[in-house]
Chain A
Amino acid sequence: MRRFLIGCGAASLLLLAGCGGSNQSESVKPKEEATKTAAGTPPATDEANAGSVTGKVSFSGDKPVMKNLSMDATPACARAHSTPQKSQEVIVNGNGTLKNVFVWVKSGLPDKQWTPPAGAIKLEQKGCMYEPHVFGVMANQDIEITNDDPTNHNIHPLPKDNKEWNESQPPKGDPKKKSFARQEVMIPVKCNVHPWMRAYIGVVNHPFFAVTGDDGTFTLKGVPPGTYKIEAWHEKFGAKEMDVTVAPKDSKTADFEFKG
């Protein structure tokens, strides 16, 4: 019996070691800095002749019915709303367009290091929902995270190329300032206390990005003349790309369509 027990113990330890050794945690992968030239000096861009890209993101197919969120597990969250809140996964506007689509210039820009704005983008936790649900920032731009709820939240971004972190924020706690160093489209953000809470951050090396709102349109301003790949990303329907050539002081249209 003794020998059997010793044998079982040894075999179990071997198995345990084997079952835990396959994957390493997500490490921060260095990414090539696309905004720097080989010499390290940014070339001049033709800002005087900059144009713009505007468009709308339409939706075709059956309009999905979004499910109600159950906030019963945290009464403070349920009390914050007079009616049940719906999932923000797919929001089809009244004019048949899609809300919360992140549109950005994916490639084609000159090698230039754009300076992030000094102001921070605000991410609010209000009524146990993230506001905004989808937004963009420049790499190294501050994101100010506030908790307006009478309940604890944890803020947990799940990046692949940036550093992952997970921090708690008490009710009405001090705002947190965070930033992401590398371009990454998109970074999901979740709250494990309230599993329905989810936001998406598009981190871009340049300022040419936008998120569609209640009318489903977007505008990318100040785009230098050139040929670009524009990408529209939606959390449920994925990404679509389009090639657009912007002439000096040109205003181009780029409309996208997602099918349900």
Chain B
Amino acid sequence: MYNAWLHRYTLVVAICTLFLVVAGGLVTSNDAGLSVPDWPLSYGKLMPPMEGGIFFEHGHRMVATMVGMLTIVLAIWLWRSEPRRWMRRLGFIALAAVISQGLLGGATVIFMLPKPVSISHACLAQLFFSTTVLIALFTSAGWGREATMVEDSGSPSLHLLAAAVPLCVLLQLALGAAARHKALGVLPHVVGAAIVTGMILWLVVRALVHAPLRGSALVLLAIAISQVFLGIAAYMSRIATLDAVQPMAVMVGFTVAHVAVGALTMAASVVMAVQVFRHVRRPLPHMTAGAAVEA
């Protein structure tokens, strides 16, 4: 079942998607979202002069086109070679997501950055990246091996905790996008950061005791810690350059890194959840009922 070339290709798609998230972050941070007023062409051309804000906006469109094409190939490859029906479907879900993402991107230009559309564009980017990472995970050699099962009797169940964390991270990413697009202040995102970090720490502490989950847990922990520091740096750099008459490199750098590591946090939390559901035996209903009676 393992197809090394397919797996390598999925990794390329995931890496290119992360690069696309970075390119999108550069557009917003450089205030270049409307530097190209037309869509799908740019200044009526396929290739406008790449200068100033056009470099960021049209560059983002070029990377998005490349990722779109890579995703079309991925969906076809999965459809032709994957014996698992749900994997074939996942390929088409990814394709539908990237097409929707392109249309949302076009809508942000045509309707001049309406906040709900811009925030949805940012959220879907994170979901699409997580989908590409999941496809890479499901096509890996390790996924084909028999899973080592572990027991966990903690409360709340590890399954519940692992499922809740990606949802909290997505909500937090939405709050971040809302702050970036000035739909909300930064305070909800800061409060959300404290909650999400706490949730991730809780999940990691619970997961670290189980050998099959240790790798995913440590990766999630490292990414989450980096993200907290990048968030502080992005905020401080924004405060420090508040009076600037144009976007400053220090602010752009930290903010875009924060966006990119946000995408990694989302993907790592989704992978962690998948690993929990794969390796941790679900408590049987009668055991749960028994525990409730004892309590």
Contacts and interface: CB of A to CB of B under 8 A. Distances in A.
Q: Do A and B bind each other?
A: yes
B115 A23 contact: yes
Given A2-B86, A76-B51, A195-B31, A8 B117 contact: no
A54 to B, nearest CB: 32
Interface stretch (A12-20, A37-45, A216-224, A226-234): A12-20
Interface in A181-196: 191-196
Contacts, number: 131
A77 B30 CA distance: 17
A193 B54 contact: yes
Contact of B163 (A4, A89, A191, A198): A4
Contacts of A170: 43
B269 to A, nearest CB: 11
B217 to A, nearest CB: 18
B112 A23 contact: no
Contacts of B34: 154, 156, 166, 192
B93 A9 contact: yes
A83 interface: no
A1 interface: yes
Nearest to A6: B86
Interface residues of B, number: 54
Contacts of B113: 25
B43 A168 contact: yes
B32 A195 contact: yes
A146 B260 CA distance: 39
Contact of A24 (B38, B116, B127, B277): B116
28 contacts: A4-B163, A4-B274, A7-B163, A15-B123, A15-B170, A15-B171, A16-B127, A19-B123, A22-B178, A23-B116, A24-B114, A67-B244, A77-B52, A89-B245, A151-B51, A151-B52, A152-B43, A152-B48, A152-B54, A156-B37, A168-B43, A170-B43, A191-B35, A192-B34, A193-B53, A195-B31, A195-B246, A196-B245
